[in-house]
Amino acid sequence: MARLSWVHCLLAITPFALCQSSTSAPADGLTTAAGSQTASVGTATINGTPTTYAVAFTVPASADVGPNILPNIKDRHAKQAQSLCPGYTASGVERTARGFTASLLLAGEACNVYGTDIEDLTLTVEVQTSHRLHVNIAPTYLDSSNTSHFILPEELVPAPKNGHGVQDIDLEFSWNNDPTFSFVVVRKSTGDVLFDTRGSVLVYENQFIEFVSQLPENYNLYGMGERIHGLRLGNNFTATFYAADAGDPIDGNIYGNHPFYLDTRYFEVDNSTGERTIVADQDVSAYGNYESYSHGVYLRNAHGGEALMLPSNITWRTIGGSIDLYVFDGPTPEAVTKQYQGGAIGLPKMEQYWTFGYHQCRWGYKNWSMVEDVVNSYRAFDIPLETVWTDIDYMFQYRDFTNDQNTFPYEAGQELLGRLAANGQHYVPIVDAAIYIPNPNNASDNYTSYTDGHERSVFLTNADGSEYIGSVWPGYTVFADWHASDSVSWWSDQLKQHHDNVPWSGIWIDMSEASSFCIGSCGTGNLSLNPNHPPFGLPGEEGSKIFTYPEGFDKTNKSEAAMASSLSASQSSAVAKATPPSTATVPYFIPTVTPGVRNVTDPPYVLNNINGALGVHAVSPDALHVDGVEEYDVHNLYGHQVLNATYHGLLDVFPGKRPFIIGRSTFAGSGTLAGHWGGDNTSLFAYMYFSIAQALNFALFGIPMFGVDTCGFNGNSDEELCSRWMQLSAFFPFYRNHNTLSANSQEAYVWASVAEASRTAMAIRYSLLPYMYTLFYLSHTTGSTVMRALSWEYPNDPTLAAVDNQFLLGPSLMVVPALGQGMTEVKGVFPGVAQGEVWYDWYTGEAMSAKPGENVTIPAPLGHIPLYVRGGSVLPQQEALYTTNECRNSSYSLIVALDANGAATGQLYVDDGESLAPNATLFVDLTASSGSLYASARGLYEDSNALANVTIMGVASKPKSVTLNGENVSSVAYDDSSKVLKLAELTSTPAWAADWVLSWE
């Protein structure tokens, strides 16, 4: 959930509440300095009688305000390391079995711009596989006192391993010392320079590293997450790598960190000479002759950092760690993705079948009865619902692994979840990263998750050895130290104990950056105060009521929009009066360099962190792990380690089954453990548009199980936006509707038009579950992407380089959504038509007519999402029923979309849908050629479902006969206009029990 503007509520023991703005005079006894907080007393007159009451304490908002800092990239007077630092000189080259090592010595007087220069470095270059080159630069002299400052442990983030034998690779590394050390990586087959540090100096200090790689003009880089941004990164943009609890700001750093980019370069090919000339997408023609080459770069560094994408180069800066670079040679986007995932960070985990159904959640389901009403309403409106989720409402005072026994009692929950399970449905609760620490002076405030962890020494500490105590939803909290030997088993025990009480099916991890609502160990010495409200106003409270709506709402709901605007203005005025603006000028805090000493709370180089100073709204960088490592060095890994602990915990809860986890903060490799949702987006068409780029980025990062809060989280959604978004998200792997406390309800059944649009899109999605499940199997085993950018699938078409308003689901389906208010038609491009590609309308089966590069106008009335099938595809389907379990036990159908040559191929993967290591699997190859469709299966999994229907698109004329294994097919229908052949009532026997041939003459 997002960080919100602050108004703290002083909840009294009397039957009313008094809310006070953060900057007005504090109540008696309440101070605003963390560490000197005291309880307070209030007075009120009730029925004419003055009454004194105790005021429940709230951590003041000032506790989460850091120094006024100016990010380096915004500071016109900032020191420029490239002009001040001497660089290094290479010497002492020694050949190794896979490359060489060399010494790098500081080439002049230390500059010490943002730290202390490291004089002696070691360069290691090795060819690891036939597609991956490794370049490592790290300090030569390390010991236990400083290793964590520079070296990322393999037990936290595995390093890519060398392949077998000496590899032949299409990459060549060369270096020189003119005027100081620099290096280039060249693609041997083309001579293209992929990484080029010439013309720059290497800067390597104890809290600052900078290196620069030259890039061609108007380059095409993709990745570098996590942030809300268009698919292609521009050449005037800075990507900040620092995990932050921030509600999806545009272009700012948010929850996760993936320092990886895909670089695609397009070349025009001279037809007569074969000569290649690099081109930018704005200078190309849809009829030109082009080819592209892609490569990938991964910086295995978990420290805070930035990548400055400048017009002529990318400048990498980090505040620690080493230069641990991996270059992948591609040469296609698909190859790069497979090389990165399969060889560097790990292949994506396989998901259980049921997770591909539709999920419903919101912050504000107040009790089990409300949850069951939602479930029943979906059934009543005949809208499929696979899984219902609960946000922090279910917890006892927001404490992990507990239920409020007044609103979410265990017995009633077990009964409800039993009914869900009987219907093939599921339940997933939220779990936050922080653990409540009880008041030691109040015996009734016992909390076993804390006491168990305390006894096992699994929490982060301060420098004096005391537990680090921040503040999150339940009040004062501690944070698991994932370096402690018992931390994972302790977390697993908490999950098992909670599952014994509430039989959930998966876990949703939140607040895992890790977020804290105060700077530093603000709870130390203050546990008796027991804050019971966060230091900001919750949505719906006075001063924080929601009056926002999507763009264009005033055009369709004028009176309601006018009322909302008036109320919003009144609220803003009231808040402004209660919090008069300060006239004081706060000077910028300027950190300084102390030679040989690290300043981890205010490092000399100031990152462009969305929350400001590193300790704002986060666990402080000086919090300590049991092994002496400071949080500064591993902050970006906290969420990844929560996912790791949860994954192993779910293996204990569900032995042998694939864990289902959706997490917020991720790192390179998190896709081996969990899926991800896009965080606290806003109910705006803009965020619906950005969701496509978000999903495509996480496809690159090896986390294909991705979706966003459909219809938006923050603010009120409306009928049009929700209708469009419910249909768009139906083609994302993770499909969930979720919104914030007090906002208007946005379940799919709230509006009749949204209900109908949802049923339409869900019917398509659920029918395609066999196709989607197969895509995930291929992703899990090869690293192929599930959602795909057009430019990745058609790498030789530079006109597609920046397209992110339409996308592919696998290789065979193209989605062209309406992404703006009031739209009744969309513009869509049909890639590959210049090379004879055929696209079919999903709804009619007709082949589309489009010219190369043409933006075709496509009707898209509300309730309709344009969808197209790629010629040359065979899509397996099953019946679209209410739950995924019903679907996977229904008859099969096939869509055969013939290409211009009358051919098509497809695949189907089947297993039990849940086992980590299935005892039996089934893989079916489907091939159409010369008027016949061949099915050939292998594997021992027994699937008893029959083949009911086959639809063939692109059949030139009505066939004289249709046979299945030589026997006539009785139910044959041909549409002479659409050229679609429909066959029904094919078999009553299992579809894949034996190979078969379907022929049409």
Reduced 3-state DSSP string for 356-411:
HCEEECCCCCCCHHHHHHHHHHHHHCCCCCCEEEECHHHCECCECCCCCCCCCCHH
Write down the residue that tokens 């259980």 correspond to.
Answer: 352
pLDDT digits (tens, 9 = 90+) for 900-949: 999 999 999 999 999 999 999 999 999 999 999 999 999 999 999 999 99
Least confident range of 266-280, 410-424, 455-469, 606-620: 266-280
Q: Are 983 and 972 in contact (CB under 8 A)?
A: yes
Catalytic status, residue 854: no
Would you state the pLDDT for residue 904? 98
- Given a cut of 80, whether residue 20 has pLDDT beyond it is no
- Given a cut of 60, whether residue 144 has pLDDT beyond it is yes
Q: What is the mean pLDDT of residues 820-844?
A: 97
- Given a cut of 90, whether residue 51 has pLDDT beyond it is no
Q: Are 512 and 430 in contact (CB under 8 A)?
A: no
pLDDT digits (tens, 9 = 90+) for 300-337: 999 999 999 999 999 999 999 999 999 999 999 999 99
pLDDT digits (tens, 9 = 90+) for 937-946: 999 999 999 9
Q: Is 54 exposed, middle or buried (0-12, 13-18, 19+ CB in 10 A)?
A: middle
What rounded mean pLDDT belongs to the chain? Answer: 94
Catalytic residue, candidates 513, 631, 718, 879: 513
Catalytic status, residue 513: yes
pLDDT digits (tens, 9 = 90+) for 77-91: 999 999 999 999 999
Would you state the pLDDT for residue 45? 66
Q: What is the mean pLDDT of residues 601-628?
A: 98
Catalytic status, residue 275: no
Catalytic residue, candidates 205, 226, 493, 680: 680
Distance CA 29, CA 25 (A): 11
- Given a cut of 70, whether residue 464 has pLDDT beyond it is yes
Distance CA 210, CA 410 (A): 54
Catalytic residue, candidates 226, 329, 391, 510: 510
Q: Are 137 and 204 in contact (CB under 8 A)?
A: yes
pLDDT digits (tens, 9 = 90+) for 345-376: 999 999 999 999 999 999 999 999 999 999 99
Q: Which two tokens stand for residue 324?
A: 């641990």
Sequence-ordered list of residues with C-beta below 8 angstroms from that of 149, at least 6 positions apart, any chain: 206, 320, 321, 598, 633
